[in-house]
Amino acid sequence: MSVLLLGIFDFIGTVAFSISGAITGIHKKMDIFGVNILAIMTACGGGLTRDIVMGSFPPQMFINPFYVMVAVIVANIVFLIMYFRKSVPDKFFGVYDKGLFIFDTLGLAAFMVDGVMIGANFGYDDNMFLLVFLGFITGVGGGVLRDVLANQMPAIFVKHVYALPVIIGGIIMVIIHEIMKTWNVAMVVSFVFVILFRFMASHYRWNLPKVEL
């Protein structure tokens, strides 16, 4: 059952981050190649970084390119929908941030679960720090690469406690597994937690403190 759940979370995360990357590429007026690259890096960049940290070579995205193909398909669907409108409607820019937030949140939650489970599958069940770090880097890695390639400040550093829910969600996931000895419940609870935390942070405008100059 945990394998099936993990596959579902992987698919959700890939689709969500692909849409996020494609939307950002269109917003930045990239051509279809740029939109595809941004979607792929957003969807697969976290897993790529995780595999490098784990010493897994070549990274999984090159061994099994299924999720790369999913990212390409999703990116082109988004691009073609916008392209055949002949022009980007004004309301697109009004909902850009909201749409990006929603898909970012889904991707973060799904890939946080994926990262923790990859560490567990490698046999590191008893190393909470490593498991939480893998969940963190898998969750935020793609978004950071997207923002860097799009020439904008990575959201992880400035918006709606972007990374904090992922870290706490990873800790919750590991603790639930330690108590209940099942990953299924841990995956679902931590996934829901990250989504709720992010939406509450957005609604109540929670942000980590920073120096105003």
C-alpha to C-alpha distance for 53 and 208, rounded to whole angstroms: 27
pLDDT 10s digits, 136-175? 999 999 999 999 999 998 888 877 688 899 999 999 999 9
Residue whose C-alpha is closest to residue 17's, from 149, 105, 116, 119: 105
C-alpha to C-alpha distance for 54 and 121, rounded to whole angstroms: 12
Q: Is residue 213 part of a domain?
A: no
Distance of CA 136 to the CA centre of its chain: 10
Q: Is residue 39 part of a domain?
A: yes
pLDDT 10s digits, 47-59? 999 999 998 889 9
Q: Is residue 53 part of a domain?
A: yes
Residue whose C-alpha is closest to residue 58's, from 70, 44, 39, 72: 44
Q: Is residue 210 part of a domain?
A: no
Q: Is residue 162 part of a domain?
A: yes
Q: Is residue 90 part of a domain?
A: yes
DSSP per position, 106-128: HHHHHHHHHHHHHHHHTT-TT-H
Q: Is residue 108 part of a domain?
A: yes
Q: Which domain holds residue 18?
A: 2-203
Distance of CA 188 to the CA centre of its chain: 16
Mean pLDDT of the chain: 89
Question: How many domains does the chain contain in total?
Answer: 1
Q: Is residue 209 part of a domain?
A: no
pLDDT 10s digits, 76-100? 999 998 888 756 555 555 556 677 7
Res. 1 pLDDT band, cuts 50 70 90: low
Residue whose C-alpha is closest to residue 74's, from 44, 46, 118: 44
SS3 66: helix
